[in-house]
Amino acid sequence: MTKMDNGVEIKEIGNVPENANVILGLPDVGLVGTIAAAHIIEEMNLKEIAQVDSRMFPPVMVVHKHMPKSPIRVYGNGNLLVIISEIPITPELINPLIESIVEWLKSKNINQLISIGGIPHPKRMEIEKPRIYGIGTDKNFDKIFKKNDINAFEEGLIVGPSGVMLKKCMLEGIKAMYLMAESHYKYPDPGAAASVISAINRIFGTKISIKSLEEKEEEIRLTARDLMKRTENTLKEMQKTQEKEIPMMYR
C-alpha cells in the first residue's frame, strides 16, 4: 500500500507493470473520460490491480457483479494501465488525488500518461464526428497530433483534474497528454468517447473496437445519467465552461 501524506492511499492488489502507458478517465464534461475508460477496460478485458481510497471521498461504495469496489480503481495488463473514477472529483480533492496518482505512477516508471476528457460544444447535436483537441508536456506531441488528425489546443485554460495532472507531470518530468473531444456539457456523450478512443488507436496503433460503444449509446446514457448529475455540480464549482477562453497573458 502506498500512503501519501495528503491522505490518499493507493493499495495494489495485483501486479502493476512498469514502463506502461496510462489512461486516466475521470468524470468530466459529458463523462467522456469515464465512459472511454470503462469501455477500454471491458473491451481489453483488463484486470483490477489497484484501489484508491481517501477519507475525503464521499461515503459511497460502488458494486459490480455483487462485489463492493472502491469508486476509483486501476486496471491493467502487461503494458497498459487504466485509471477510472465513478465519483465526481470535487475541487478540494483534485490536488491531493492527482498529486498522489502522479507520484505513484512515477514510482512505476511509466512511459506516458494520457488523460481523456470533453470540451463543451454548444452545437454538439449537429456534429456527427466530434473533433479531438490535444495538449501535451512534450514538444514532439505537436507532430503526433498533426499526423493523427488531432487539433492542437493552442490557447486557453485547462480547468480541473487534467490541468493539475499536466502541471504535476511537467514538474516531475513525465510525458503526458490531454485529449479532449467536442461533447455535450450536461449529458453523457458516448459518441465523444468513441472519437477519443479512435484517436488513441491512431496514435498508439491499438485496435480497440468502438462498435459496442456505438451500439449501446442510449443504454450508456441512461446508466451514466446519475453520475452526470452529480458531476455537473462539480463542473460548475470548477467553472469548467471557461476552457478555450483566451488567458489574460496572451503570447
Tens of pLDDT along 106-121? 999 999 999 999 999 8
pLDDT band at residue 105 under the 50/70/90 scheme: very high
Residues 50-94 pLDDT 10s: 999 999 998 888 888 888 999 999 999 989 999 999 999 999 999
pLDDT band at 235 (very low <50, low <70, confident <90, very high): confident
Better-scored residue on pLDDT, 167 or 225: 167
Residues facing residue 51 across a β-bridge: 11, 73
pLDDT of residue 234: 77
Residue 242 has pLDDT above 70, yes or no: no
The residue ranges of every structural domain in the chain are 19-46+83-242
Which pLDDT score is estimated for 248? 42
Q: What is the pLDDT of residue 208?
A: 96
pLDDT attached to residue 244: 52
pLDDT, averaged across the chain: 89
Q: At 172, phi and psi to the nearest 5?
A: -95, 0
Q: Which residues pair with 24 in a beta bridge?
A: 83, 115
Q: Give the span between the Cα atoms of 124 and 147, in whole angstroms.
A: 25
Percent of the chain scoring above 90 in pLDDT:
65
Give Cα 234 to chain centroid, integer Å.
16
Show the 3-state SS of the chain: CEECCCCEEEEECCCCCCCCEEEEECCCHHHHHHHHHHHHHHHCCCEEEEEEEECCCCCCCEEECCEEECCEEEEECCCEEEEEECCCCCHHHHHHHHHHHHHHHHHCCCCEEEEEEEEECCCHHHCCCCCEEEEECCCCHHHHHHHCCCEECCCCCCCCHHHHHHHHHHHHCCCEEEEEEEECCCCCCHHHHHHHHHHHHHHHCCCCCCHHHHHCHHHHHHHHHHHHHHHHHHHHHHCHHHCCCCCCCCC
Find where cell 518530468 sits. 173
Of 11-20, 145-154, 179-188, 234-243, the one with minimum mean pLDDT is 234-243
Task: Write the class of the CATH domain 19-46+83-242.
Answer: alpha beta
- Percent of the chain predicted with pLDDT > 70: 92
Q: Where residue 246 falls among pLDDT bands split at 50, 70, 90? A: very low
- What pLDDT is recorded for position 99? 96
Output the pLDDT for position 75.
Answer: 98
Q: Which pLDDT score is estimated for 150?
A: 96
